[in-house]
């Protein structure tokens, strides 16, 4: 019902545009997609499919066939377009078998290739898909590319090579690994900024939340998606978790485990909502953990889930803030006005879903249900679902955006949390960072590590 409400309103007021403004009941366009259109449609395809919303899936597919157009003069975010559009199209293809999605995914992948034309092969953040000219975000330290952006292409690009028979996509992302492995890492940590021309790190700022997050997620998932043959991805992941444990993961005096941010050796005791995905990641990676650490990684996932649940529970609306702190006498609470918003993000529910699947502890469904009730009470409006400006206030001030990831991630993870484990089982599927399921490339089907390269 939630998906239907979000979808029907998008269809009514913003059909074909990127996102919906549910209060003003019109389209919303973000410059992340340039003038590529239809982000909500492409992001929602697999959720519609999984929820068996057949009519809606059919009209979404027809829109893609007739209107999804990449021959536009647009400067786009390579990362956002990859995770939402390429990821969304790939999943829609693998679930439905409809050729149009495969064709569009490969066509878009080809448009993204000029982003890798840099001296190191580390891609630009922004690319004009008509001219093929790339550049980086003007705010990024020392002209750098961003770890969570260039590090979150791997899964989709391996599948693009798999589906097109063209090795170039996989070669591009394997080269990113090569560059990273040649570099010295401060305390074994990966800074968020890397200059694509010099191949040197920018500012030594390390985060498992924004700017860093999904790079770590993709190391683990690359290994899982390769049917556990990608030993390099595996090693990079577990080494990185070891460094996080030593340098970033701390326990508050009230007993809450959190992941701090690291700035040139100093810790900022702040955790972003984005960082909450890591609970699910630790649990998902538990059974491959070296030295009998399986139980420890599950425990780490459980502790993160608890901390993130507390960040929700300590607000008036029972929805979590964008960032919360463990300093100045507070724990798991946002102290700065500009960190008190909630934009329908999925990460906490994502972690509940992984924890539920991997432990079957009923508290994760309970916590997921609390989030459903809070979303219904505070974010649901006549025209769809909206983010909230201050979750500590008793009265909603809506931000008037229904993010496309609400349909692709938040609602999908909620649905999976209350489904049986055999719906998209983890042995056969990995979720990209936008919750688009991609199949594991099983060895038995001739997908050796060599072939995948």
Residue 361's φ and ψ, nearest 5 degrees, are -75, 120
Our answer to whether residue 347 is catalytic in this structure is yes
Among positions 33, 49, 405, 413, the unique one binding ligand DMJ when judged by CB under 6 A? 405
Contacts of 277 (CB under 8 A, 6+ apart): 213, 214, 217, 347, 350, 351, 433
Among 77, 307, 386, 433, binds ligand DMJ (CB under 6 A): 433
Q: Give the closest residue to 377 by CA, choosing from 107, 110, 2.
A: 2
Least distance in angstroms from the C-beta of 87 to ligand DMJ = 10
Q: Output 240 or 274, the one with its CB closest to ligand DMJ.
A: 274
Residues 407-426 that bind ligand DMJ (CB under 6 A): 409
Active-site residue identified among 56, 80, 156, 261: 80
- Cα-based angle 209, 210, 215 (whole degrees, multiple of 5): 75
- Mark whether 213 is an active-site residue: yes
Q: How far apart are the first and last CA of the chain?
A: 42
User: Among candidates 216, 205, 315, 340, which has minimal Cα distance to 275?
Assistant: 216
As to burial, measured by CB atoms within 10 angstroms (0-12 exposed, 13-18 middle, 19+ buried), residue 203 is middle
110 is catalytic: no
Which tokens go with 142?
A: 């020392």
Tokens of 269: 């005791």
Closest separation between CB of residue 305 and ligand DMJ, Å?
17
Minimum Å distance from CB 329 to ligand DMJ? 29
Shortest approach of ligand DMJ to residue 410 CB, angstroms? 8
434 scored as a contact of ligand DMJ (CB under 6 A): yes
Site for ligand DMJ in 220-279 (CB under 6 A): 274
Kindly name the residue from 261, 303, 310, 347 that is annotated as catalytic. Answer: 347
Query: Residue 142: CA atoms inside 13 Å, Cβ hemisphere, count?
Result: 15
Q: Does 136 bind ligand DMJ (CB under 6 A)?
A: no
Q: In Å, how far are 218, 230, 294, 354 from 285, measured between CA atoms?
A: 11, 14, 8, 11
Least gap, CB of 79 to ligand DMJ (angstroms): 8
Assess whether 80 carries a catalytic annotation. Answer: yes
Q: Binding pattern to ligand DMJ, positions 326-365, x when CB under 6 A?
A: -------------------xx-------------------
Active site residues: 80, 213, 322, 347
Query: Site residues (CB under 6 A) for ligand DMJ?
Result: 83, 214, 274, 345-346, 405, 409, 433-434
């Amino acid at each position: 019902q939630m998906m239907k409400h979000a979808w029907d309103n998008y269809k009514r007021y913003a059909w074909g545009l990127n996102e919906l403004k549910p209060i003003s009941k019109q389209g919303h366009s973000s410059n992340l997609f340039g003038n590529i259109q239809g982000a909500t449609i492409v992001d929602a395809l697999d959720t519609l499919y999984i929820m068996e919303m057949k009519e809606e899936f059919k009209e979404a597919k027809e829109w893609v066939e007739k209107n999804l157009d990449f021959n536009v003069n647009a400067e786009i975010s390579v990362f956002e377009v990859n995770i939402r559009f390429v990821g969304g199209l790939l999943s829609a293809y693998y679930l439905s078998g409809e050729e149009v999605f495969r064709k569009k995914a490969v066509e878009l992948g080809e448009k993204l290739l000029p982003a890798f034309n840099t001296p190191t092969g580390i891609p630009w953040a922004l690319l004009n898909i008509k001219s093929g000219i790339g550049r980086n975000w003007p705010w990024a330290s020392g002209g750098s590319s961003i770890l969570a952006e260039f590090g979150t292409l791997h899964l989709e690009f391996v599948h693009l090579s798999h589906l097109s028979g063209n090795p170039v996509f996989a070669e591009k992302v394997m080269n990113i690994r090569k560059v990273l492995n040649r570099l010295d890492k401060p305390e074994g940590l990966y800074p968020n900024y890397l200059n694509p021309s010099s191949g040197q790190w920018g500012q030594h700022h390390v985060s498992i939340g924004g700017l860093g997050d999904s790079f770590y997620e993709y190391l683990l998932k690359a290994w899982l998606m390769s049917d556990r043959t990608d030993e390099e991805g595996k090693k990079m992941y577990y080494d990185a978790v070891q460094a996080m444990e030593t340098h970033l993961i701390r326990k508050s005096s009230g007993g809450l485990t959190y992941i701090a941010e690291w700035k040139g050796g100093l810790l900022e005791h702040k955790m972003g909502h984005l960082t909450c995905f890591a609970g699910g990641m630790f649990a998902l990676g538990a059974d491959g953990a070296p030295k009998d650490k399986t139980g420890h990684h599950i425990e780490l996932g459980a502790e993160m889930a608890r901390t993130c649940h507390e960040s929700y529970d300590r607000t008036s609306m029972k929805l979590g803030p964008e960032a919360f702190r463990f300093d100045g006498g507070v724990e798991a609470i946002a102290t700065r006005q500009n960190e008190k918003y909630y934009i329908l993000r999925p990460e906490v529910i994502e972690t509940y879903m992984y924890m539920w699947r991997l432990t079957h502890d009923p508290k994760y469904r309970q916590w997921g249900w609390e989030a459903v009730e809070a979303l219904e009470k505070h974010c649901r409006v006549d025209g769809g679902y909206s983010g909230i400006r201050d979750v500590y206030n008793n009265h909603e001030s809506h931000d008037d955006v229904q993010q496309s990831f609400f349909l692709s991630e938040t609602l999908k993870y909620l649905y999976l949390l209350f489904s049986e484990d055999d719906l998209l089982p983890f042995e056969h599927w990995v979720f990209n960072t936008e919750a688009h399921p991609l199949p594991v490339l099983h060895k038995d089907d001739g997908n050796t590590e060599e072939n995948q390269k």
